[in-house]
Amino acid sequence: MRVLAYYIPILAINMRVLALYIYSYYNVFEVIEMKYMFSYDIISELAKRTKEYRLAYPLTQQELADRAGISLRSIQKFEKGLDVQLDIFIKIIMALDLADNFDALLPDMSNRPSAYLAKQKGTVRKRVRKKKVQPGNRTFKWGDE
């Protein structure tokens, strides 16, 4: 009986780890799938998540509009998944105290290790130029016959 009492907590811990692994797996899967979505699908997903945060805060649409300094109609339009201006979206995010999460969306390129190496070498890129194709080095593409 002692042996069984020893293994039950271990089994419970392993089940929690398995549940967390499954949860994280599906979140990663969801993030990967986002790149295959159309822009209006992403807007709808952002609207859904923003509404969930508003309800958890808890704020009414009017209270959020007052806090963000925008019209009630803009909040309603956004929560329906309709397109709004970027500054309105940013005001909504700031009113919900979610502005710190923008760094996860677009990380600062100057904090990457490759940026430090580029600064040391003096090769910080400021513009992109297309490479010129030499007449003899052209690769074949369909339709070039």
The predicted-structure confidence for 41-80, as pLDDT tens digits, reads as follows 889 989 999 999 999 999 999 999 999 999 999 999 999 9
The pLDDT score that the predictor gives to residue 19 is 40
7 Cβ neighbours under 8 A, 6+ residues apart: none
The pLDDT score that the predictor gives to residue 80 is 94
The pLDDT score that the predictor gives to residue 12 is 41
**Which two three-digit tokens encode residue 32?**
């990967």
The SS3 of residue 80 is: coil
**What is the reported pTM?**
0.59
The pLDDT score that the predictor gives to residue 27 is 52
State mean pLDDT over 26-50.
75
First to last CA, the chain: 80
What angle is formed at CA 103 by the lines to CA 100 and CA 104, rounded to 5 degrees?
Answer: 105
